[in-house]
Amino acid sequence: MANFEPPFQEALKTLSLNSPQDAPSIDAAEEEFFELPLIHLRGLNGQEMERKKCIEVMARASREWGFFQIVDHGIPGELLKRLMSEQKRLFYHPFEEKSKQNFLNLANSYLWINPRATSLKQLSWSEAFRVSITDLSRMDESNNTLRQTIEDYAREATLLLQRLAEHLAEFLGMSSSYFRENCPPSSTHLRLNRYPPCPLSGKLHGLVPHTDSSFLTLVYQDQVGGLQLMKHGRWFSVKPASNALIINVGDLFQAMSNDVYKSVRHRVVAQGFERFSAACFYCPTAKALIQGFRGPAVYRPFTYGEYKEQIQEDVKSSGDKVGLPRFLQH
Ligand SMILES: O=C(O)CCC(=O)C(=O)O
Ligand SMILES: [Fe+2]
């Protein structure tokens, strides 16, 4: 095993011994393939009719799937390539180094296993770095190219996400200035994911089912595949499309749109091949208020700070995020 690889095999052995009864939890028969709506964003710069059509298709996908793919997104291919290669270089540091608390001076940004996992169902066959633009200023000087790349990408991604959020909000008659006022680039954060080749390909989670706590998330992935989303109680596999980026609706947009846009559960199924992805979460500042755009509101108003605190509390006590149901209006 290469020395950058976290000791997943050992974790797998321990968990299988702990809970042999619930051995591998994913059933391949559950899987269905489908093509996510693919949206050409050049339509946004076109004539009124074309612009309207493009926004309508995005809004429909956000309602029905909570997910869509975009091309002509304006993020330079060169920047995406740079992100991927910097990301690989980062993960190929020896495990001993990257798992240290002060690695690159990014306190606790590295994750490789759910420390509370007691069964195979809770195991994510992946490692990740969580970074925000604010953390980057602390990053050590020897990693200037990584720092520059993440900064460039986060800036471009935030602009794109802001633009899409504004269109989706306007479509429902919500205020679109909210995003400019409450979601500065410093609130955006990234999760760089690496999924090591898995000996139980198709049978373990690469990333356990979850919803994102953002307004919108932008996912850049390689061509390996493995991402699935839930619709009508079934898992659908997202086929990677070259040059396309994925957008998904997060909890905050669902709350603000009174459940019109859906923050859909998704997961990654572990594959026999190494896979990389980068998720960019478009979020507000901690004090920003999240409120249904017109009554009667499905959720009580809450600040993003409160939302994050509640998640931390729930994860601590039960190992899982509860999310929006905690904020339902009674
Ligand atoms: O790797 C992927 O395709 C999805 C990652 C994801 O859902 C996340 O980081 O929240
Ligand atoms: Fe996610």
d(CA 205, CA 195): 10
51 part of the active site:
no
Cα–Cα distance measured from residue 240 to residue 227, given in angstroms and rounded to the nearest whole number: 9
Q: Is the CB of 218 under 6 A from ligand 1?
A: no
Residues 181-185, mean pLDDT to the nearest whole number: 95
Is 266 touching ligand 1 by the criterion CB < 6 Å?
yes
pTM score: 0.95
> How far is the C-alpha of 179 from the C-alpha of 129, rounded, in Å?
26
The response to whether residue 267 sits with its C-beta less than 6 Å from ligand 1 reads no
Q: Please, which pLDDT band fits residue 189 given cuts at 50, 70 and 90?
A: very high
- What's the fold here for domain 8-299? Jelly Rolls (2.60.120)
What is residue 178's DSSP assignment? H
Helix (H) or strand (E) holding 70, with range, is strand 67-71
Q: What is the ipTM of this complex?
A: 0.99
The tokens describing 316, both together, are 């601590």
Give the burial class of 162: count Cβ atoms within 10 A of its Cβ; 0-12 exposed, 13-18 middle, 19 or more buried: buried
| Ligand 1 geometric centre to CA of 277 (Å) | 7
Q: Measured between alpha carbons, how far is 270 from 26 in angstroms, rounded to an integer?
A: 10
Q: Express each pLDDT in 257-271 by its tens digit.
A: 999 999 999 999 999
What does the pLDDT look like over 91-136, one tens digit per residue? 999 999 999 988 988 877 999 987 777 778 888 999 999 998 888 8
**Distance from Cα 276 to the centre of ligand 1, integer Å:** 10
Q: Are strands 67-71 and 38-40 parallel, antiparallel or unpaired?
A: parallel
Q: How far is residue 108 from each of residues 86, 128, 274, measured CA to CA in Å?
A: 19, 11, 24
Q: Are 40 and 72 in contact (CB under 8 A)?
A: yes
DSSP-assigned letter for residue 192: E
To the nearest whole number, what is the mean pLDDT of the chain?
A: 92
Q: How far is CA 113 from the centre of its chain?
A: 17
Q: Is 277 in the pocket of ligand 1 (CB under 6 A)?
A: yes
